[in-house]
Amino acid sequence: MINHLKKLLSGKNTIILVPYLWFILLVAIPLSIVLKISLSEMSATSVADMLSWSQGWPTIKINFASYLFLATDPLYIDTYLSSIKYALLTTLICLFVGFPFAYFMARAPKHLQPMLLMLIMLPFWTSFLLRIYAWKTLLVSNGIINNALLSFGVINQPLAMMNNSFSLVLGMVYSYLPFMILPLYANLSKLDVRFLEAAADLGASAFKTFWLVTVPLSKAGIIAGSMLVFIPAVGEYVIPELLGGSDTLMIGRVLWDEFFANNDWPMASAVAVVMMLLILLPISLLNSYQSGQAESKL
Amino acid sequence: MNKIFARTWLITVYLFLYLPIITLVIYSFNDSPLVSIWSQASLRWYRALVNDSALIASVALSFKIALMVGLLSVFFGTFTAFVLSKYKRFYGRTFFFSMSTTPLVMPDVIVGLSLLLMLVSLQHWLGFPERGLLTILLGHALLGTAYAAVVVGARLKEMDVRLDEAAMDLGCKPRQVFRLITFPLIMPSLISAFLLTFTLSFDDVVLASFLSGPGYSTLPMVIFSRARLGLNPSINAVAAVTIAVVSLTVIVSSIYHARTQRKRNHEIAMRYSDGSQ
């Protein structure tokens, strides 16, 4: 018995077991608890136990009330839709700004490129919260931008740039733009210039070369960058809380309020479960796309 | 024409990225209590910072947590990366891999909620842990492990397997191979993983808000609660100090990096000239 146990805990198994248990404790168990609570009932002050004993028999009570409420209350549906809308808009703007940026960066003189790259990553090292806060000081109606525009006489009255969808999307683009630029740059800097030269030699215009050669060759970078922006943007909490308004609905904020303000744990858990599904969908699509790519290459 | 367009695009985006940081620093020297109206230069908010005991306590707490998070994340992250890169087949490998990437793709609110619900039931059954430093530490270390595994894994992937094989041929036991060959080779990635996870922890507000208990406010939690209430010039001073510390660290580390690189090149050159004689 002891020998058997010793063999089981041989070098390789122990090495696997250490991180395995760590993730079981902190990922698998917590997420199962979220799923369980989303199917539980909220009694007066606490979550009712799913498993109860009546006359010596265990009974499991599964309660879909939270999910039913989610599916029927327009507030939640609207919030999911508007989270996806803002995340998509952010992704598109990041792509529109980031693609030319990464392209020009990859074409910059070789000795300048490390510095340009470093300048992109440097803001990461200063607090994300402080950078979002800074936009607040810039955008409010008596803020720095409005004051400057007023004093130059460009506008007569302050522009409403704060606590609306403009400030929300601006904050998200600002925070996630580097996540779009870095994979695109990694991809575009490896692009073989001879393809572009060949296209030009064969009479393609600059635009045609870009659209028919550069873009298809950088598809992997575009997809990676878009995922890196879209996924965290959907569930964002801090930016909508600091820069968004009461009408810019985001699902991360609703989850937070359900939990902290309403103390409704089953509802918060149900919101989380649906949000997880929403995020897993694009990831699994990407995975099947990538394995399809790998097969077609073989 | 094209070149001018490219340059304008690059410069505009850089301005966009640095505009908020620059204004934070400039306005931290503003005397007016109104954040956006310039009156005159002063160190008023820096003086206020020194006397802000709540803020200083939160910096100390954040620093303590971030230091431990860095160490824990590198420890578990190295294990994770090692398992994923060396062991291609074991029971539940796909499950293990998905668990290790979950913290990277799940929004912080979900990770925070799930960990809190787990800790609440743990407390219900065992009577501990109380919410506070330890629970924030656990949450940050989970996130950090996932990131550290990616950083260390990238380095392990680049490593030449033949070095391991050569060491084993020469009679090294697996443990010795790790200590004498793998460990020194992945050391730079361990350092960058430490720095990355330290910063992650020092910067996080969502997980900390879920997992913290009364009396345990980290620096981002304090900043967040003040920023939520409105504009507050003391935050500008905090920002300026953070930026100064970060820039100093980046400059010192890049000088150090350049120097070790030069030293290494020099050593290589010396070896070659020795060999030719």
Tell me, yes or no, whether B50 lies in a domain.
no
Q: Which residues of B touch A16 (CB under 8 A)?
A: 83, 87, 90, 96
| A168, HSE (Cβ side, Cα atoms, 13 Å) | 25
Structural domain ending residue among the three candidates A11, A36, A60: A60
Please, which residues bridge with residue B177 across strands? none
8 A C-beta contact, residue B246 and residue A126: yes
Tell me, yes or no, whether A97 lies in a domain.
yes
Residue of A17, A21, A33, A179 best to disrupt the B interface, most CBs of B under 10 A: A33
Cβ pair B110:A275 closer than 8 A:
yes
Per-residue CA distances from A48 to A45, A68, A284, B149 (Å) = 9, 18, 34, 38
| Neighbour count for residue A211 (Cβ, 10 Å) | 12
Question: Which two structure tokens, joined as six digits, stand for B242?
Answer: 């953070």
A53 and A136 both lie in a single domain: no
Residues 106-125 of A with CB under 8 A from B: 107-108, 116, 119-120, 122-125
Q: For residue A45, what are the domain limits?
A: 2-60
Residues B261-265, mean pLDDT to the nearest whole number: 80
Question: Which two structure tokens, joined as six digits, stand for A157?
Answer: 């009255």
Burial class (CB in 10 A: 0-12, 13-18, 19+), B195: middle
pLDDT tens, A37-87? 888 877 655 666 666 666 766 666 777 888 888 888 888 899 999 999 999
| Per-residue model confidence (pLDDT) at position B277 | 45
Cβ pair A234:B76 closer than 8 A:
no
Tell me, yes or no, whether A249 lies in a domain.
yes
Nearest to A134 among B23, B113, B246 (CB): B23
A53 and A111 both lie in a single domain: no
Give me chain A's average pLDDT, please: 86
Identify residue A231 by its one-letter amino acid code.
I
Q: Within an 8 Å CB–CB cutoff, is residue B97 touching chain A?
A: no
Residue A114: asked if its preceding bond is cis (omega within 30°), the reply is no
Q: In CATH, what number is assigned to the domain containing residue A170?
A: 1.10.3720.10
Tell me, yes or no, whether A184 lies in a domain.
yes
Q: Within an 8 Å CB–CB cutoff, is residue B228 touching chain A?
A: yes
Helix %, strand %, coil % of chain B (to 5): 80, 0, 20
B197 and B79 both lie in a single domain: yes
Tell me, yes or no, whether B206 lies in a domain.
yes
A256 and A219 both lie in a single domain: yes
B245 and B225 both lie in a single domain: no
Q: For residue B24, what are the domain limits?
A: 1-42+232-277
Identify residue A83 by its one-letter amino acid code.
S
pLDDT tens, A86-95? 999 999 999 9
Residues 9-38 of A with CB under 8 A from B: 11-12, 15-16, 18-20, 22-31, 33-34, 37
Least Cα distance to B105 among A275, A7, A100 occurs for A275
Tell me, yes or no, whether B47 lies in a domain.
no
Q: Which residues of A touch B174 (CB under 8 A)?
A: 11
pLDDT tens, B124-181? 888 778 888 999 999 999 999 999 999 999 988 888 888 888 888 898 888 888 888 8
* B276/B101: higher pLDDT: B101
B189 and B146 both lie in a single domain: yes
A195 and A52 both lie in a single domain: no
8 A C-beta contact, residue A27 and residue B98: no
B61 and B150 both lie in a single domain: yes
End-to-end CA distance of chain B: 55
Least Cα distance to A144 among A162, A126, A128 occurs for A162
Q: In CATH, what number is assigned to the domain containing residue B179?
A: 1.10.3720.10
B247 and B226 both lie in a single domain: no
B69 and B27 both lie in a single domain: no
Cβ pair A19:B87 closer than 8 A:
no
Tell me, yes or no, whether A248 lies in a domain.
yes
Per the structure, the count of domains in chain A is 2
Q: Which residues contact A89 (CB under 8 A, 6 or more apart)?
A: A169
Nearest to A130 among B19, B24, B105 (CB): B24
Per the structure, the count of domains in chain B is 2
Torsion of CA B190, B195, B196, B201, to 10 degrees: 120
Please, which residues bridge with residue A58 across strands? A53
Tell me, yes or no, whether A287 lies in a domain.
no
Tell me, yes or no, whether A294 lies in a domain.
no
Cβ pair A125:B20 closer than 8 A:
no
B118 and B176 both lie in a single domain: yes
